[in-house]
Chain A
Amino acid sequence: QQQVKQSPQSLIVQKGGISIINCAYENTAFDYFPWYQQFPGKGPALLIAIRPDVSEKKEGRFTISFNKSAKQFSLHIMDSQPGDSATYFCAASRGGGADGLTFGKGTHLIIQP
């Protein structure tokens, strides 16, 4: 049973556009929702994260929108740049740090110049 569903699998966006990646989760015990960014040949790195007590978190061009009732959260990349081309993973965890991360399957994002 896949606990975190991510879409789309791949995404092509023009430079300057908005990239949107969506995730849905099933386990209501999840209380932490990070996004990881992975460049080819590298390990994933934390990009931005949110807890369910807020509906939105913004860091620079990256925003997480969180809908607790729908059990969905999304990553928005504003003014997308070629350097944003990477694979993005949403994830979820619970227990205030006791549990590991359950990842979505990833989105391969390409920003065209």
Chain B
Amino acid sequence: EAQVTQNPRYLITVTGKKLTVTCSQNMNHEYMSWYRQDPGLGLRQIYYSMNVEVTDKGDVPEGYKVSRKEKRNFPLILESPSPNQTSLYFCASKVRTAEETQYFGPGTRLLVL
């Protein structure tokens, strides 16, 4: 089954404790992206990657890091989480062509205390 998976689905942590949210896709997509969703703000792009070893900032990259060492994986790293990073996070992927359909993962709900 073609899908984007994220782990963990739910996470409670404390300020300053480094964490990683994993994202994996099995569709051989070149393009992967991370979004955060906050009430009243919609979805905002954090980082994206056009292909392996190619990443770039989205609209709200502060406080986040990413890496793309393999085509299928695109982890999101919060090296020193803060309460304002409490949010619902989505990973997405798509073929890097004019076809724009992005496939979203199920989401990771993060609470930073």
User: Hey, which bits of chain A sit against chain B, CB under 8 A?
Assistant: 6, 9, 32, 34, 41-46, 49, 89, 93, 96-98, 100-106
Chain B residues with a Cβ closer than 8 Å to the other chain, count: 29
A60 vs B47: C-alpha distance when bound (angstroms): 34
User: Does any Cβ of A come within 8 Å of B104's Cβ?
Assistant: yes
A41 vs B107: C-alpha distance when bound (angstroms): 8
Chain A, Cβ-Cβ closest to B6: A43
Chain B residues with Cβ under 8 A from A102's Cβ?
45, 59
Contact B107 A100 (CB under 8 A): no
Contact A49 B100 (CB under 8 A): yes
Known A-B contacts A103-B44, A106-B42; the reply to A42 vs B107 at CB < 8 A is: yes
Nearest-neighbour CB distance to chain A for B103, whole angstroms, equals 8
Which of the 9-residue segments B12-20, B68-76, B77-85, B90-98 touches chain A?
B90-98
Contact B100 A43 (CB under 8 A): no
Chain B, Cβ-Cβ closest to A107: B42
Chain A residues with Cβ under 8 A from B106's Cβ?
41-43
Known A-B contacts A101-B45, A103-B43, A105-B41; the reply to A43 vs B107 at CB < 8 A is: yes
Chain A, Cβ-Cβ closest to B33: A100
Nearest-neighbour CB distance to chain A for B4, whole angstroms, equals 8
**Complex interface bits, B15-47 against A, C-beta within 8 A gives 1, otherwise 0:** 000000000000000010101000011111100
Contact A46 B102 (CB under 8 A): yes
Nearest-neighbour CB distance to chain B for A56, whole angstroms, equals 19
Chain B residues with Cβ under 8 A from A103's Cβ?
35, 42-44
Among B4, B45, B97, B99, point to the contact of A100 (Cβ < 8 A). B45
Contact B98 A96 (CB under 8 A): yes
Chain A, Cβ-Cβ closest to B99: A97
A43 vs B48: C-alpha distance when bound (angstroms): 17
Chain A residues with Cβ under 8 A from B45's Cβ?
100-102
Known A-B contacts A97-B96, A100-B58, A105-B40; the reply to A46 vs B48 at CB < 8 A is: no
Nearest-neighbour CB distance to chain B for A105, whole angstroms, equals 4
Nearest-neighbour CB distance to chain B for A57, whole angstroms, equals 14
A93 vs B58: C-alpha distance when bound (angstroms): 13
